[in-house]
Structure 1
């Protein structure tokens, strides 16, 4: 056990010497890894924040039916009966002219201006909660209601929410695709960096082989180098993403305030960051293993 720990301690010391021997080059390599990891991690973080926003939105499809200003009691009763008979409607709420005006006064703060209008200009309307989201059924309901002469407009209020959900789903797939592509790029970059390290120590490796060094002994410092590079590169990536979120957090919140909301961007959760560290370390180790194995096979030949 002591011998095993000593070997790993020697490998770690050799790895630190490799970083110290060329600090500028090592820093540039870490920045390359950090940027490669920051792009998919940042995209995933944006998608995760959009998912949080989407989860706050009502999931049931909504619709509003606005009547013409001259619609009478008979017209209102006929439209309400048609809405209640529709199978796609879960619930319906009638919004009278007075109720609509009071709601507008509360939301706009223009009580004095609205009071000077004399006659209430707002129409009667119905607020619908729909039970189904099949496009054909919703289109049929809209066509049926729009055909009534008392109906001015039929508006589906949750279309934008469904579009946002679609954007989130697309962003999730895009983040996965980008992560796979940059993961492959990280594998190749690590393999190339290790190859360059091997070339600079070629004579040392050949001498070590001649005096009986095992492949594991030769391979171990490069694996430590790749793992440490992956850890530091991922830490840099997390820092870059946090910096970017900090830059845009205030404008995003100001935009949300315009819609009556407060929205705070947040970094990916700890388990996601831990997974990112593990994946980057695994890819770095795989790239180093392939590169060192190829060189050792060449020496054996």
Structure 2
């Protein structure tokens, strides 16, 4: 008497991959694709380097403008801190009375600091600035009034104008002068620079997408038969897309590293003449450099642009590839 064969031993269970096994397999495949994509780029060093150099050139200009604007913002902050008002006192006021007026001005809301310049000190500065000491010494009296230099707590132009109006009402103050035209022009230039930098960043970012997209498109065409075969045996678009996305990320990262190197070399090359030019005007200025935060932003953006350009190119061409 024969017994029907059992498909599996009694009590045996069918084992399916657990979540941990699937996760390890997914991570292993990503690691393999990342390494394989990097090796493919190294097999064609000249072509890969030219693509990365094109990406670097597209990134250098907006990054350089961003650094320039960053240093301009620091200079703007220093100039705002140096913005002052000059309150001219009535002519003939004694030094003791001028000191009391200075105390009254310092007590006003919105005043961060004051400095009294007596009539004698003002005349001495005037003589030194014009070099007319002998001619001014012939004057019978000192025609210059005492003045108080006021440093506002808020450098905003509207706040400074309001403070000037308040200071003019203090007894003993004849006139309050302020020159905010240069500060407003500087702010308008800074706003214009920010918009120009943003526009150039967007345009050159699109250029990076085009460079990477065209390179990945050629790679997809070169591996068209391989893609058709793996698609026939059930590979998903995500599986097929993965190595090309890593190639795009490698291109972006390499371009970002080259851009970082070009910015660093350019800063070192120009730092000496720029410092000498600033010193000739009695100022101290140094070209800005990419710090850790700026370097991270540059490399992150370049890698993301490379990945995005590859993703757009692969999705577009995978839709056109049909297994035969």
One fold, TM greater than 0.5?
yes
* Rounded Cα–Cα distance in structure 1 between residues aligned with 2:257 and 2:126: 50
State which of 244, 252, 255 in structure 1 corresponds to 2:274: 252
- Is the contact made by 1:89 and 1:128 (CA closer than 8 Å) also made in structure 2? no
- Most deviating of 125-134 and 261-270: 125-134
State which of 212, 216, 229 in structure 2 corresponds to 1:207: 229
Residue in 1 that maps onto 2:320: 298
Residue 137 of structure 1, CA deviation:
6.7
Residue 46 of structure 1, CA deviation:
0.6
CA 1:215–1:122 in 2, change beyond 3 Å: closer, same or farther?
farther
Q: Deviations over 1:6-28 (max 9, x none)?
A: 42343234313431333222111
Q: Deviations over 1:39-76 (max 9, x none)?
A: 11111111111111222224474244789xxx7669xx
Residue in 2 that maps onto 1:53: 75
- Is the contact made by 2:228 and 2:322 (CA closer than 8 Å) also made in structure 1? no
- Is there any run of 5+ residues in structure 1 with no aligned partner, and where? 142-149
- Is there any run of 5+ residues in structure 2 with no aligned partner, and where? 1-20, 167-173
State which of 185, 201, 216 in structure 1 corresponds to 2:207: 185
Residue in 1 that maps onto 2:286: 264
Question: Counterparts in 2 of 1:196-235, with a 5 A limit?
Answer: 196-235=218-257
Residue 272 of structure 1, CA deviation:
2.9
CA 1:230–1:66 in 2, change beyond 3 Å: closer, same or farther?
same
For the pair 1:36 / 2:58, whether they are aligned, the reply is yes
* Rounded Cα–Cα distance in structure 1 between residues aligned with 2:307 and 2:110: 57
- Most deviating of 175-184 and 232-241: 175-184
Residue 182 of structure 1, CA deviation:
2.0
Question: Higher helix proportion, which one?
Answer: 1
State which of 37, 41, 51 in structure 2 corresponds to 1:15: 37
Residue in 2 that maps onto 1:175: 197
- Is the contact made by 1:222 and 1:288 (CA closer than 8 Å) also made in structure 2? yes
* Rounded Cα–Cα distance in structure 1 between residues aligned with 2:143 and 2:247: 71
Residue 224 of structure 1, CA deviation:
0.9
**Which secondary structure state, in structure 2, belongs to the residue aligned with residue 164 of structure 1?**
helix
Residue in 1 that maps onto 2:262: 240
State which of 96, 109, 121 in structure 2 corresponds to 1:99: 121
User: Which structure would you say has the larger RCO, counting Cα contacts within 8 Å and 6 or more residues apart?
Assistant: 1
Aligned length: 288
What RMSD, in angstroms, separates the aligned Cα atoms of the two structures? 4.2
Q: Deviations over 1:215-268 (max 9, x none)?
A: 333211111111111111111111122222223322332343345442222223
* Rounded Cα–Cα distance in structure 1 between residues aligned with 2:110 and 2:36: 71
